[in-house]
Amino acid sequence: MTKLSQRIIEILLRSLEDGLDHKKYYESEFKNGHGYLRIINYTPLKCLDDEVEGLGMHTDMSCVTIVYQDQIGGLQVKSREGKWMDINPCEETLVVNIGDMLQAWSNEKFRSSEHRVILKKPVNRFSLAFFWCFEDEKVIFAPDEVVGEGYARIYKPFVCSDYLKFRESSERGKFEKVGFTVRDFAGINL
Ligand SMILES: O=C(O)CCC(=O)C(=O)O
Ligand SMILES: [Fe+2]
Protein backbone atom coordinates (compact mmCIF):
# COMPACT_ATOMS: atom_id res chain seq x y z
CA MET A 1 0.00 0.00 0.00
CA THR A 2 2.89 2.33 0.78
CA LYS A 3 4.47 1.65 -2.61
CA LEU A 4 1.14 2.15 -4.35
CA SER A 5 0.50 5.43 -2.56
CA GLN A 6 3.95 6.71 -3.45
CA ARG A 7 3.42 5.76 -7.07
CA ILE A 8 0.05 7.52 -7.15
CA ILE A 9 1.63 10.68 -5.72
CA GLU A 10 4.38 10.53 -8.34
CA ILE A 11 1.83 10.20 -11.13
CA LEU A 12 -0.25 13.06 -9.74
CA LEU A 13 2.81 15.30 -9.54
CA ARG A 14 3.66 14.48 -13.15
CA SER A 15 0.20 15.61 -14.18
CA LEU A 16 0.78 19.10 -12.77
CA GLU A 17 2.23 21.92 -14.90
CA ASP A 18 4.41 20.96 -17.88
CA GLY A 19 8.02 21.54 -17.05
CA LEU A 20 7.52 21.17 -13.30
CA ASP A 21 10.35 19.23 -11.76
CA HIS A 22 8.10 16.57 -10.24
CA LYS A 23 11.03 14.45 -9.06
CA LYS A 24 12.42 17.37 -7.06
CA TYR A 25 9.07 17.93 -5.33
CA TYR A 26 8.58 14.27 -4.66
CA GLU A 27 11.97 14.11 -2.95
CA SER A 28 11.70 17.36 -1.01
CA GLU A 29 8.02 17.29 -0.04
CA PHE A 30 6.56 13.79 -0.11
CA LYS A 31 9.38 11.43 0.68
CA ASN A 32 8.79 11.26 4.42
CA GLY A 33 5.09 10.52 4.14
CA HIS A 34 3.52 7.73 6.12
CA GLY A 35 0.33 5.74 5.97
CA TYR A 36 -2.19 4.26 8.33
CA LEU A 37 -4.83 1.68 7.74
CA ARG A 38 -8.40 1.84 9.03
CA ILE A 39 -10.41 -1.36 9.08
CA ILE A 40 -14.11 -0.63 9.17
CA ASN A 41 -17.04 -2.87 9.84
CA TYR A 42 -20.45 -1.28 9.40
CA THR A 43 -23.17 -3.02 11.37
CA PRO A 44 -26.59 -2.06 10.05
CA LEU A 45 -29.61 -1.29 12.17
CA LYS A 46 -31.86 -4.32 12.60
CA CYS A 47 -34.64 -2.99 10.42
CA LEU A 48 -33.50 -0.84 7.58
CA ASP A 49 -36.60 0.74 6.03
CA ASP A 50 -34.68 3.39 4.21
CA GLU A 51 -31.08 4.19 3.40
CA VAL A 52 -29.07 5.37 6.40
CA GLU A 53 -25.65 6.96 6.52
CA GLY A 54 -23.02 4.56 7.84
CA LEU A 55 -20.42 7.31 7.55
CA GLY A 56 -21.52 10.90 7.04
CA MET A 57 -20.23 13.21 4.36
CA HIS A 58 -16.60 14.15 4.86
CA THR A 59 -13.32 14.76 3.12
CA ASP A 60 -10.25 12.74 4.02
CA MET A 61 -7.40 14.58 5.70
CA SER A 62 -4.75 12.60 3.83
CA CYS A 63 -2.80 13.33 0.66
CA VAL A 64 -4.42 10.31 -0.95
CA THR A 65 -6.57 7.48 0.41
CA ILE A 66 -6.85 4.04 -1.11
CA VAL A 67 -10.14 2.29 -0.36
CA TYR A 68 -11.17 -1.31 -0.69
CA GLN A 69 -14.88 -1.98 -0.21
CA ASP A 70 -16.58 -5.37 -0.20
CA GLN A 71 -19.37 -6.33 -2.62
CA ILE A 72 -22.14 -4.69 -0.55
CA GLY A 73 -21.44 -1.22 -1.95
CA GLY A 74 -22.64 2.05 -0.47
CA LEU A 75 -19.69 4.36 -1.07
CA GLN A 76 -20.82 7.59 -2.70
CA VAL A 77 -18.97 10.66 -3.94
CA LYS A 78 -20.43 14.12 -4.50
CA SER A 79 -20.19 15.48 -8.03
CA ARG A 80 -19.29 19.08 -8.80
CA GLU A 81 -23.02 19.68 -9.29
CA GLY A 82 -23.69 18.43 -5.77
CA LYS A 83 -25.24 15.07 -6.72
CA TRP A 84 -24.37 11.86 -4.89
CA MET A 85 -22.91 9.25 -7.22
CA ASP A 86 -22.52 5.57 -6.35
CA ILE A 87 -19.02 4.15 -6.47
CA ASN A 88 -20.02 0.59 -7.20
CA PRO A 89 -17.75 -2.19 -5.98
CA CYS A 90 -15.79 -3.78 -8.76
CA GLU A 91 -13.66 -6.86 -8.41
CA GLU A 92 -9.92 -6.23 -8.19
CA THR A 93 -10.51 -2.49 -8.14
CA LEU A 94 -9.52 -0.01 -5.49
CA VAL A 95 -10.84 3.51 -5.08
CA VAL A 96 -8.46 6.45 -4.74
CA ASN A 97 -9.54 9.67 -3.02
CA ILE A 98 -7.58 12.88 -3.06
CA GLY A 99 -7.45 14.28 0.46
CA ASP A 100 -7.21 17.72 2.07
CA MET A 101 -3.43 17.77 2.48
CA LEU A 102 -2.89 17.39 -1.24
CA GLN A 103 -5.64 19.87 -2.00
CA ALA A 104 -3.87 22.49 0.13
CA TRP A 105 -0.36 21.61 -1.07
CA SER A 106 -1.45 21.85 -4.71
CA ASN A 107 -3.38 25.11 -4.16
CA GLU A 108 -6.49 23.20 -5.31
CA LYS A 109 -5.01 21.91 -8.54
CA PHE A 110 -6.23 18.67 -6.95
CA ARG A 111 -9.56 18.67 -5.12
CA SER A 112 -10.39 16.67 -2.05
CA SER A 113 -13.50 14.57 -2.69
CA GLU A 114 -16.62 14.79 -0.53
CA HIS A 115 -17.85 11.29 0.09
CA ARG A 116 -19.96 9.19 2.45
CA VAL A 117 -21.13 5.64 3.00
CA ILE A 118 -24.79 4.68 2.74
CA LEU A 119 -26.15 1.45 4.19
CA LYS A 120 -28.82 0.09 1.88
CA LYS A 121 -29.08 -3.50 3.01
CA PRO A 122 -29.47 -5.05 6.47
CA VAL A 123 -26.10 -6.81 6.25
CA ASN A 124 -22.61 -6.11 7.51
CA ARG A 125 -20.35 -4.07 5.27
CA PHE A 126 -16.58 -4.22 5.40
CA SER A 127 -13.98 -1.81 4.03
CA LEU A 128 -10.32 -0.93 4.34
CA ALA A 129 -9.02 2.61 3.96
CA PHE A 130 -5.31 3.37 3.70
CA PHE A 131 -4.54 7.04 4.36
CA TRP A 132 -1.26 8.31 2.96
CA CYS A 133 -0.25 11.48 4.80
CA PHE A 134 2.56 13.97 5.21
CA GLU A 135 4.64 13.57 8.33
CA ASP A 136 3.05 15.27 11.37
CA GLU A 137 5.54 18.12 11.65
CA LYS A 138 5.45 19.01 7.95
CA VAL A 139 4.52 22.57 7.09
CA ILE A 140 2.08 22.36 4.21
CA PHE A 141 2.65 25.24 1.82
CA ALA A 142 2.14 25.17 -1.94
CA PRO A 143 5.37 25.98 -3.81
CA ASP A 144 5.11 29.17 -5.91
CA GLU A 145 5.66 27.13 -9.03
CA VAL A 146 2.70 24.90 -8.19
CA VAL A 147 0.45 27.88 -7.42
CA GLY A 148 1.43 29.21 -10.85
CA GLU A 149 1.81 32.75 -12.14
CA GLY A 150 -1.36 34.78 -12.06
CA TYR A 151 -3.10 32.46 -9.59
CA ALA A 152 -3.99 33.57 -6.08
CA ARG A 153 -2.63 31.57 -3.19
CA ILE A 154 -5.57 29.94 -1.39
CA TYR A 155 -3.92 28.62 1.82
CA LYS A 156 -1.69 29.96 4.55
CA PRO A 157 1.13 27.62 5.59
CA PHE A 158 0.03 25.21 8.32
CA VAL A 159 1.49 22.35 10.29
CA CYS A 160 0.04 19.00 9.35
CA SER A 161 -0.65 17.80 12.90
CA ASP A 162 -2.40 21.09 13.76
CA TYR A 163 -4.92 20.40 11.04
CA LEU A 164 -5.43 16.84 12.24
CA LYS A 165 -6.10 18.18 15.76
CA PHE A 166 -8.50 20.79 14.40
CA ARG A 167 -10.48 18.11 12.61
CA GLU A 168 -10.49 15.78 15.58
CA SER A 169 -11.83 18.47 17.86
CA SER A 170 -14.44 19.77 15.40
CA GLU A 171 -15.72 16.44 14.27
CA ARG A 172 -16.93 14.99 17.49
CA GLY A 173 -20.62 14.47 16.80
CA LYS A 174 -20.74 16.67 13.73
CA PHE A 175 -18.65 14.88 11.18
CA GLU A 176 -20.71 15.92 8.21
CA LYS A 177 -21.35 19.56 9.09
CA VAL A 178 -19.81 22.24 6.92
CA GLY A 179 -17.29 24.61 8.51
CA PHE A 180 -14.62 22.06 9.29
CA THR A 181 -12.78 21.84 6.03
CA VAL A 182 -9.15 22.62 5.31
CA ARG A 183 -10.32 25.92 3.81
CA ASP A 184 -11.96 26.84 7.11
CA PHE A 185 -8.72 26.01 8.87
CA ALA A 186 -6.11 27.61 6.63
CA GLY A 187 -7.92 29.34 3.76
CA ILE A 188 -6.86 32.87 2.79
CA ASN A 189 -9.53 34.05 0.35
CA LEU A 190 -12.72 32.76 1.86
O1 LIG B 1 -15.93 2.61 4.02
C2 LIG B 1 -15.67 3.17 2.97
O3 LIG B 1 -15.92 2.69 1.85
C4 LIG B 1 -15.02 4.54 2.98
C5 LIG B 1 -14.42 4.90 4.30
C6 LIG B 1 -13.98 6.33 4.35
O7 LIG B 1 -14.33 7.14 3.55
C8 LIG B 1 -13.07 6.76 5.45
O9 LIG B 1 -12.78 5.96 6.34
O10 LIG B 1 -12.63 7.92 5.42
FE1 LIG C 1 -13.22 8.93 3.71
- State which of 55, 85, 133, 175 you would mutate to test the pocket of ligand 1, scoring each by most atoms of that ligand within 8 A of its C-beta: 55
Q: How many domains does the chain have?
A: 1
pTM for the complete prediction?
A: 0.92
3-state secondary structure of 152: coil
The phi-psi region of residue 24 (left if phi > 0; otherwise alpha if psi is between -120 and 50; otherwise beta) is alpha
3-state secondary structure of 122: coil
Which atom of ligand 1 lies nearest, measured to the CA of 95?
Answer: 3
Give me the CATH number covering residue 11: 2.60.120.330
Give the residue numbers spanning the domain of 64.
2-186
pLDDT of residue 171: 64
How high is the ipTM of this complex?
0.98
User: Is residue 172 scored above 70 in pLDDT?
Assistant: no
pLDDT tens for each residue of 97-113: 999 999 999 999 999 99
pLDDT of residue 174: 58
Nearest residue by C-alpha to atom 5 in ligand 1: 129
Q: What is the CA radius of gyration of the chain?
A: 17
Residues sharing a CB contact under 8 Å with residue 10, sequence separation 6 or more, in sequence order: 22, 26
Residue, of 178 and 76, whose pLDDT is higher:
76
Least confident of 9-23, 59-73, 127-141: 9-23
Residues sharing a CB contact under 8 Å with residue 138, sequence separation 6 or more, in sequence order: 32, 159, 160
- What is the 10 CA–ligand 2 centroid distance (Å)? 21
3-state secondary structure of 124: coil
Per the DSSP assignment, residues forming a β-bridge with 93 are none
pLDDT tens for each residue of 111-169: 999 999 999 888 899 999 999 999 999 999 999 999 999 999 999 999 999 999 998 87
